[in-house]
Each structure stands twice: as structure tokens, then as C-alpha cells.
A and B are shown apart, each in its own frame.
Chain A
Amino acid sequence: DTGVSQDPRHKITKRGQNVTFRCDPISEHNRLYWYRQTLGQGPEFLTYFQNEAQLEKSRLLSDRFSAERPKGSFSTLEIQRTEQGDSAMYLCASTRTDYNSPLHFGNGTRLTVT
């Protein structure tokens, strides 16, 4: 069971620095989602891809955030000029396009901005 893989698991960075996270979805899944979760809260939707196309972006996603999925397989999420408010767990999930197909989540990247 390959599962959804996220790298790195933890990232500590100073305010103002850029960071990039990677997500490798389950291989046959063509949908990929990014969520952000703060401690004890439910995940908040950021963006999702169908294959390589980015189909929806949340208003939470400021212009400092950019996500790509260039070949329809792995995805990257970049945050430029990080702020302390960006500190959170960034979760990636993948799924098939079947109706009600469940999301399979990775174990997340925990970002701490100091």
C-alpha cells in the first residue's frame, strides 16, 4: 500500500523565507487536493487538481501561495514570503473521480514560521 506521501514531514522556517512542499498521490488517483489545518480544527480547503489542471482555488489562498501539478502526478505547494500566520499542518489528499470516492490523506507537512 503506497498511500499518499508528503515531504517534508516538518519544516521550520524564518518569516520571509520561501518554502515548498511536495505531495505524491496514490498512482491511479487523478484528483489531488491541498488542505490546511490548524491545531484542533478541521481541514480548510486550499485548492484541487484534476490531472494537471488546477480547477479551484480557495479565497484563503493568497497570491503568496502557488500550487502546481505539472505532469498530473506529484504536486508542489509553494509559500513565498512566509508569515507567522502560515504556521499550520498542510495536508494533501488524493482520490478517483468516481462519485463519493473518499479522500486518502497523507500525514501532512507541519510548517512552523518563527
Chain B
Amino acid sequence: TQLLEQSPQFLSIQEGENLTVYCNSSSVFSSLQWYRQEPGEGPVLLVTVVTGGEVKKLKRLTFQFGDARKDSSLHITAAQPGDTGLYLCAGASFGNEKLTFGTGTRLTIIP
């Protein structure tokens, strides 16, 4: 069974601070996706990373895929209250059509 562990599980910080969320596994993934989910809604895709070592930026969000394709990180600069939500990483395996989701990081940005 592939497991994706996210850390921290909960994070509450002040508006304007920086933060990093980690997604780790012992398995190799062909690609990794990050989603954000708000209460009462389904997850919404933020980014897909495919190449080991790849870095993608989405405004104040920076995503990195580990060189060995087993881990990923999400860094948010100058966090804003609108960044509040449940952040989920999800890995796709070679030849397997289902996504395995991580345990989630619940982020709260305090104004």
C-alpha cells in the first residue's frame, strides 16, 4: 500500500508569514498533484509536477518535486487569509490510474 504522509497535520500562522508543507512517501510516483479543499467542497487542483527536481510557481505558492520522485513540498510566501484550507498532495503511479491522496494539512491563516 502506498502511503503519503503530510506534515504538519495542522498549521496556524499569522497573515504575512511564510510556511512550508511537506508530502513524503517511500514509494516512487510518476507525478504528484497538489489540491486545496475548502469546507463543504471537493478538492481543487493547484498544480501537477512530473519531473524529479521540478519546481513550479503559482503566484505566492512554490511547489517542488523531490529528485527521487518520492516527496514534494509546498511553500507559501506572505500567507493571506484566503490561503486557509485543507492542502492535499496526491501521487500517481506508473501504470496505475488511481491517485493516492496524502493525509492532508489543515492550514489556518490568522488576519
Contacts and interface: CB of A to CB of B under 8 A. Distances in A.
Interface of A: 4, 31, 33, 35, 40-45, 48, 50, 55-56, 91, 93, 100, 102-108
B26 to A, nearest CB: 17
B98 A102 contact: no
13 contacts: A42-B4, A42-B88, A42-B101, A42-B102, A44-B101, A93-B42, A102-B33, A102-B45, A103-B33, A105-B44, A106-B42, A107-B40, A108-B41
Main SS class of interface, B: strand
A40 B108 CA distance: 13
The 10 A-B pairs of least Cβ separation, nearest first, read A105-B42, A42-B101, A102-B45, A42-B104, A43-B101, A45-B98, A107-B41, A100-B31, A42-B102, A42-B88
